[in-house]
Every structure is written in structure tokens, then in C-alpha cells.
Structure 1
Amino acid sequence: MSPDTDTLPPEALAAQTARYMAVVDATWPAARFDSCGPFLLRAGRGGGKRVSSASAEGPWTVSDLDAAEAGLLAMGQQKLFNIRPGDEALDGALAARGYEIIDPVNIWSCPISVLTAPPRHPEVFGLPAWPVLEIQREIWAEGGIGAARIEVMERAAGPATTLIGRVGDAPAASAFVALSDGVAMLHALEVRKAFRGKGLGRQMMLAAGHWAAAAGAQELAVICTTGNAPANGLYRGLGMLWQGRYHYRIA
């Protein structure tokens, strides 16, 4: 993959990544955010890595890092840190403590206008749905997205909706999208195996774009593990631009 932001100076890339990570925290929020010196600790209650990690919000010392580790354990969570551009010293310190890299993540985004085209196949479509429908819970459960992650969706404070995807009359996909700071971010896109390869992922993204435009967003973003080749290909094929990358370090 050829990054679209590879010409940005390190400081600009770090600032850009921080902006999108703030949107992640707002649209996929932890159950609780605790300050621990220069570290921000997230209590996830089983909602996954995004809501269960610590991140450095300023200069730190070894004792600060020790305290952050202890804080995560006190929450009943694994020692897990979110590593972004500019966190090279933290990355090295955690590596020296035996932490391993897990789940590198790409950030993609584009102006809303890119994702408001009419559907190519009218029989394949996505529609907003709120509150969460029981069939969506079933679709998400098939993809390993359980009740704890649906609770994350329900905590989002800004404008938000789910999307239910259909192929004809058959419910076939589900996703969640929420808005913060002019950016709509899509999460938890899941297409049922029997309906993959029919263009439904694209239609769900267009549905998100139409909803986001009506909600006043200027931009739509999504995050995706670097190893998910089909999803990364979908986002680039839609005209979205790569905006940065982060990863986790886990003890």
C-alpha cells in the first residue's frame, strides 16, 4: 500500500493521527476515561482494544509508565497501549519490557461528497436503523461483535445510527456510524458470509455517506487493521485516502 500522507513531516502526521483518534474516542467511547499522569486510561468493559487501552497524551517518565500499567491492571484489564506517530520512545520502552505489537491499524477518510453516489444495484442497499434491531445483533454476533461492543455504540453521545444492509428482502449486513467534530466514523461493518462479493460493503459505505451528509458531516472516516486486505481495498477503491496508522503494544 502506498501511503497518501507519506510526504507529511512527522509533527504534522502525529497531529493528524491525534485528530482522528479523538474522533475514535468520541464515536466509539470507552465506559470510562481516567487520567493517570500523562497517560489516558480507557475502561472498556469487554468492548475491545479501542476502548481498553492506554495512550500517552504528553511527555512521560518511567514512573509514569509504571503507574499506567498498574492503573490498567486495577481496571481488571490487560496491559495494552495505543501507539501513534510521535510515540516512538514509548514504543521502544514497551518493547524493552516485553510487549508485542498487535493489530496495526490504517486510518482512511474522504470528503462526504465522495460517498454520496446513487447505488449501482438498487436491489443491494443500506438503510439507517435506530435503536439496534435484533437481526443486527444476530449479524454482528456471527462476526464476533457481541453485546459489549453494542453497548459501546449506545454510549456514543453525538449523532449516531446503525445501518442495516439488505440484498432484496434479505437482511445481510450491519454497521454503526457516529459523528464528532465534523467527521462521521463508521465502525463494526459486518457482511454475512452468504452475501459477500455482491457489492454490499460499498453500498453500506454509501449509506453511511448519505446519513453523514444529512447529519452535517464534512468527512467520513473508518479504521481497519492492516491485515484486512478486502476492507482496505474497498476503502481505497471508494476513493478514500490513507491518513495514517497506529498499533497496539500488549504485554
Structure 2
Amino acid sequence: MSLDWAQVVDGTWPAARYERLGPFLLREGQGGGSRVSAASRIGEVTEADIDAAEAAMQAMGQKRIFCLRPGDEALDAQLAARGYEVLDPVNIYACPVEQLTDIPIPRVTVFTLWEPLAIMREIWAQAGIGPERLAVMDRAKGPKTGLLLRHRDKPGGTGFVAIHDGVAMVHALEILPHQRRQGLGKWAMRGAAFWALDNGAQTLSVICTKANEGANALYRSLGMENVGEYHYRQLV
């Protein structure tokens, strides 16, 4: 799949503000996490360019953090030499939406709705996804929905899905600890696929940290393909 995954991420999980500064695209995250706060390379970089980007991020009240994708090896080495540490390497998984709409979802297992219900906000809050990340969801411009998962007539988890350029991306998928190992992650992805199909998307995708062995196993078990990766470097 020859998609620009950086644009899909920005389109479905957008920063509050973007600013081009020399060879960097800066993101103002307003507390929404690394994904909406990291600078990314869009041109050839000098040490002075890094200095300027660092100063701009600090002026925003943010940490000095860069997102490194394939092709950014030279910048990766420059940042390593400055003492930047690797943070949260991730995989990007994707598949055609029809791949996960081949079997029906059990009744009252996955509900799609926007705005989020109070119980969805509570589940996200328990997982550390607070108002700043909910604001990221609010900023998404394209079609979007929340996922409310239920198991045995009780809330089981929640998630967020948004579409950019024909690609639906799942974010903030959280299953309550006592509801795990019940197949809810699988049904969440299938529910997202049905919603994506109904809303004109051709591809379903999700981002997962490489350290999350359970989630990586889930996406592979669904036949999703690893289509990309990136990591951050942050100056602590």
C-alpha cells in the first residue's frame, strides 16, 4: 500500500497547529501527546536547523521531540549524537476494509457513535487519555466515530476512528482490564471496518507500539499487514 501514512496520521489525529520552519514541520500539541507534538523532517537538515526547531518547540512550551520515519536515518544519527533517546517505536498495520467485514458482529457488541458517551470518556480517562487527547479527536475534520464495546451486557472498552483520504485509522483503542481476553479487540476492529465501509473508506489501519505484544498479535491475527513504522527521539 503506497499511501502517505504521515498524512493519514495527521488527518485522523491532528495537532492543534502546524508550522513549517526550514526543513521541519512543527506541531503544537497542546498536551495531546507525542504524536501531535513532534517535529518531522520535510527537507535536508543542518545542525542550525535542529537548533531552530528546538527553540521553537520550547517556545511552544513543549518537549524537544522529533518523529523519525524511514528515510530519516541521517537526522536520526544527528539527534542521537545530541543525546536524544529513542521513544515509542511503532508499527502501522493496514488491510482492505472488506477483509474484516466478512462475518457479522454479534449483536450489542460494538456501537458506533459521536459524541462520546460519559462511559467512553471514563474508560479513556482510566487509560490516561484525558481532555487534551479528546480535544485531538474533536479536531479531526473528516468522518469520525467513537466505538463503544460491550461484553455480557457491561461496558468493555472504547476507541476512536477517523477517515482521511479513503483510509480509516483506529486510535485510542482501550479495553477495560477485567474485560480483556474476551475477543473485544477483534470485534472492535471489525466494527471499525463496517463503519469505515459505510463511510466510504477502502482501507482500515491502526498504529501500535512495538512493545505492545498483545496488540501486535491481535492485528496480525486479523491478517493486517505491517505497512510502516516510525519512532520518536526526545531530549530528556
Q: What TM-score range do you get, normalising by the shorter chain?
A: over 0.9
CA displacement 1:65-118 (0-9 Å, x = unmatched): 111111111110000000000000000000000000010000100001111133
Q: Which amino acid aligns with 2:86?
A: I
CA distance in 1, matches of 2:108, 2:151: 5
CA distance in 2, matches of 1:125, 1:212: 17
Q: Structure 1 residue 27 and structure 2 residue 12: aligned?
A: yes
Question: What residue number does 2:66 align with?
Answer: 81
Q: Structure 1 residue 182 and structure 2 residue 166: aligned?
A: yes
**Scaled by the length of structure 2, what TM-score is found?**
0.96
CA distance in 2, matches of 1:195, 1:129: 21
Structure 1 residue 124 displacement after superposition:
6.5
Question: What residue number does 2:203 align with?
Answer: 219
Question: What residue number does 1:8 align with?
Answer: none
How many equivalent residue pairs?
A: 235
- The 5 Å alignment of 1:61-210 reads 61-119=46-104, 122=106, 125-210=109-194
CA distance in 1, matches of 2:108, 2:89: 31
Q: Structure 1 residue 56 and structure 2 residue 36: aligned?
A: no
Question: What residue number does 1:12 align with?
Answer: none
**CA 1:203–1:124: 2 relative to 1, 3 Å:** farther
Structure 1 residue 123 displacement after superposition:
5.6
Instruction: Determine if contact 1:224/1:232 at 8 Å carries over to the other structure.
Output: yes
SS at match of 1:198: coil
Structure 1 residue 56 displacement after superposition:
0.4
Q: Which amino acid aligns with 1:166?
A: R
CA distance in 1, matches of 2:184, 2:31: 29
Identity %: 55
Structure 1 residue 119 displacement after superposition:
4.3
CA distance in 2, matches of 1:213, 1:26: 18
CA distance in 2, matches of 1:145, 1:124: 25
CA RMSD of aligned residues (A): 1.3
Question: What residue number does 1:39 align with?
Answer: 24
Q: Which runs of 5+ in 1 are unaligned?
A: 6-15
Q: Which amino acid aligns with 1:146?
A: G
Instruction: Determine if contact 1:107/1:221 at 8 Å carries over to the other structure.
Output: yes
Instruction: Determine if contact 1:123/1:168 at 8 Å carries over to the other structure.
Output: no
Instruction: Determine if contact 1:158/1:178 at 8 Å carries over to the other structure.
Output: yes
Q: Which amino acid aligns with 1:111?
A: P
- Single out whichever of 72-81 and 58-67 deviates more from structure 2: 58-67
SS at match of 2:52: helix
CA distance in 2, matches of 1:55, 1:164: 33
SS at match of 2:211: coil
Paired residue for 2:228, among 227, 239, 244? 244
Instruction: Determine if contact 1:44/1:52 at 8 Å carries over to the other structure.
Output: yes
CA distance in 2, matches of 1:215, 1:123: 20
Q: Which ranges of 4 or more aligned residues in structure 1 deviate by more than 6 Å?
A: none
**CA 1:117–1:243: 2 relative to 1, 3 Å:** same
